[in-house]
Amino acid sequence: MTFDYDLFVIGAGSGGLAASKRAASYGAKVAIAENDLVGGTCVIRGCVPKKLMVYGSHFPALFDDAAGYGWKVGNAELDWEHFITSIDKEVRRLSQLHISFLEKAGVELIPNRASLVDPHTVEVDGRKVTADKILIAVGGRPVKPDLSGMECGITSNEIFHLKEQPKHIVIIGAGYIGTEFACIMRGLGSQVTQITRGEKILKGFDEDIRTGIEEGMTNHGIQLIKNNLVKAIERVPEGLKLTLSEADQQPVIADVFLVATGRIPNVDGLGLENAGVDVVPSSVEGPGYKTMNAIAVNEYSQTSQPHIFAVGDVTDRLNLTPVAIGEGRAFADSEFGTNRRVFSHETVPTAIFSTPEAATVGLTEVQAREQLGDAVKIYSTRFRPMYHSLTGKQEKIMMKLVVDSNTDKLLGAHMVGESAAEIIQGVAIAVKMGATKKDFDATVGIHPSAAEEFVTLR
């Protein structure tokens, strides 16, 4: 059978872009469809604009720190409109850059939404086209609990486009999105209240990371209300009034309400049923949620249809931008190149760009003990960095290595503190290669630096 394309990609986010360009480099005829800005969640409303907001949120603390070093700094004031507009311009610049990369790679961009008609046919831009292979890379989207009043809240999609800086923002959600934006908005000068239904933020991360970030957030003036659910939301003259589940908890009033309670695979309207593509329940759960679905795939990102594939957040495996890119390239290498391979989801480093920042790679202490019990040995330290010797602030850095005492092999590394992501990125190479604690001990530290503590832990 003759097809219009060798590969048709639905979704021009990180995974789809990586896969389409790599497949085209092997000589495949490729088209990619996207009904939004090219670049996906990361470029448009995720990693990139968020990290720019993180950078912006750090300046007030830097101005304050400067005084400890003898600098006289005048009154500083944030021009919110300039801040938000500058971020949006950079996002759009990067989106155009990705379009130019597609053009150079010879990939046809179709700026419309696509859906499956049958196992080899896609409907897009009012026409039907066929492809030998189809890749679904449409990512995920924020989800709100199905509770009364949730329409008053914004999600992480809208927070980048607020016309005015919130005086008081209340955030529900204990994951990395809610935690990061709580720290961003507090750093920018807003009053921040974060409401969580559990006892701790950042479920699934190492306990010392969770504790270290919480302590830093509290010290920076963020109010954490734990073990509570939002029961009702109403508009009042002062703003939005949130009534919480615990009887002894007073209502919270704020002018902006951010719902950061999770993201789900963006499968709606794809026509999966037309092509016989199987789905599995997604991981989002909690009061007010319905069962959501992700596309089921095997280790080669292959769906229940052998010529239809899916990568990235739509599969709800490990929802990180570099992972989507890695899955996309592995798919292209396997199906269009000469290097059939599986992308490994083991030992993938990640960071939380909170204040304080944190990063991690490998097993948490709890995970390691579940596997190896008493054979796990922990090396850790907590200290005030030299930088704050003159600022007078009691900021802390936490570093931790999880080691298998039977083999001396590093199972995990965790850090809370400034530049955690930059430091753990280097440590992750060692963990991925199977380094031992003796390898770390034999490495000469760079002095004076915070990172040297990782090779001096005893």
Mark 118-133 as b/e (b = at least 16 C-beta within 10 Å): ebbbbbbeeeebbbbb
The owner of tokens 């070093």 is 69
Q: Are 388 and 395 in contact (CB under 8 A)?
A: yes
DSSP H/E element including 48: helix 47-68
What is the rounded distance in angstroms from the CA atom of residue 432 to the CA atom of residue 247?
49
Query: Who's near 5: CB < 8 A, 6+ residues apart?
Result: 29, 30, 31, 129, 130, 131, 132
DSSP assignment string, 56-121: HHHHHHHHHHHHHTT---------HHHHHHHHHHHHHHHHHHHHHHHHHHTPEEE-S-EEEEETTE
Sheet holding 230-236, edge to edge: 230-236, 239-244, 252-254
Q: What is the dihedral of CA 31, 34, 38, 44, to 10 degrees?
A: -150
Query: Who's near 16: CB < 8 A, 6+ residues apart?
Result: 9, 10, 32, 34, 40, 135, 137, 138, 311, 312, 328
Mark 40-58 as b/e (b = at least 16 C-beta within 10 Å): bbbbbbbbbbbbbbbebbb
In sign, the C-alpha dihedral spanning 305, 264, 291, 118 is negative
Cα–Cα nearest to 243, from 256, 258, 230, 253: 230
Phi, psi of 325 (to 5 degrees): -60, -45
Q: Are 233 and 149 in contact (CB under 8 A)?
A: yes
Helices 176-187 and 207-219: crossing angle, nearest 10°?
Answer: 30
Q: Which of 168, 307, 414, 447 is catalytic?
A: 447
Q: Is 447 a catalytic residue?
A: yes
The owner of tokens 């596309």 is 295
DSSP assignment string, 409-445: EEEEEEEESTTHHHHHHHHHHHHHHT-BHHHHHTSPP
Widest pairwise Cα distance in the chain: 75
The owner of tokens 């329409």 is 151
Alpha helices by DSSP H, 188-244: 207-219
162 token code pair: 């607020």
Q: Could you give the residue numbers annotated as active site?
A: 447
